[in-house]
Amino acid sequence: MSYTGPDFEPPQPRRSPLRRPLTVAVAALVPGALLGWGVYAAVGGSDDGAPGDAGSPAASSAAAEPPTAGKPSPSDSPGDSPSDAAPLKGKVVVIDPGHNPTNFEHASDINRKVNVGTHWKECDTTGTATNAGWPEAKFTLDVAHRLRTLLEERGATVKLTQDGDRAYGPCVDERAHIGNEAHADAAISIHADGSGAGNRGFHVIMPGAVHDGDADTRAIVAPSAQLGESVAGDFARVTGSEPSNYLGDGTGLVTRTDLGGLNLSTVPKVFIECGNMRDSEDVARLTSGSWRQKAAQGMSEGIVSFLRG
């Protein structure tokens, strides 16, 4: 309840005995402060400095601030250590984009037989295609380029068996030799399958034990299995794709002894069939650029995990 009006005057606060001296002191200080600012502006101040400009009060304040909580300073970032920034430095990865977009123009060349250790088979094939005619060879080269970029960003030395720079091939035996001669720490051959409609999903093919003629995979069976398991796990996680429903008993892992690219390899190597180009659900993924980027990312992470042990 308050009492105001002509008949009532609220009590007045008592004057402090220090009030007048303080007023005088403040009045005396104001001219001095203005003079000091004038000297600062003439000597070191910025006439038009936006926040953050050198010499401005905002810049001085920002420079003195510690890193924002939860955001490490550059010197504290774990990514700055050589092992984290380039975990694949010194590692060599060979990427083998399956088939070649112009193989179909060189039927006699790709049909000639080459020795794959256990038997003789065609140099190469044209690969499969979607029902709309988009070829596997273009898919594999696109994913290979994306994968190369990701691996090089992690510090790896990357070599492709072909980069659209050959009239055809290379033949399956040469594809293996390219990885061998590069002394690859890991090699991966990228493909898409051409199975029947309703068959969908990815699978990773690993070499079985072969010791016949020029083929001897015994030393690479175990590390190739580790590479295959690593790639399959990360590929599924990153892409959201399911393992093949028609090969591999739901594991996404298949072992074969009839592929020259594996039989003749002396370095850890796997094939990956990223999906079925004759199944509409898989085709929706395979023909999507954003999904192909995920496919490359999944392969990259699998390879990194394998090479880092």
pLDDT in tens, 133-169: 999 999 999 999 999 999 999 999 999 999 999 999 9
**Chain segment 188-244, per-residue pLDDT in tens:** 999 999 999 999 999 999 999 999 999 999 999 999 999 999 999 999 999 999 999
Q: Look up the pTM and report it.
A: 0.74
Tell me the C-alpha to C-alpha distance, in Å, between residue 302 and each of 192, 227, 232, 248: 18, 7, 7, 19
Long-range contacts of 206-211 (CB under 8 A, 24+ apart): 206/253, 206/254, 206/255, 206/256, 206/262, 206/270, 207/255, 207/256, 207/257, 207/259, 207/262, 207/263, 207/265, 207/269, 207/270, 208/255, 208/256, 208/257, 209/257, 210/117, 210/118, 210/257, 210/263
Choice among 136, 174, 229, 273 that is catalytic = 273
Whose tokens are 């429903």? That residue is: 245
Task: Sheet with 253-256: list strands edge to edge.
Answer: 157-160, 92-97, 186-193, 269-276, 203-207, 253-256
Whether 189 and 269 have beta carbons less than 8 Å apart is answered as yes
Q: Give me 212's structure tokens.
A: 């016949």
> Is 273 an annotated catalytic residue?
yes
Domain 84-308 has CATH 3.40.630.40: yes
Q: Give me 243's structure tokens.
A: 């393992």
- Among 15-19, 113-117, 276-280, the range scoring the smallest mean pLDDT is 15-19
More confident residue, 178 or 65: 178
> Mean pLDDT across the stretch 28-32?
46
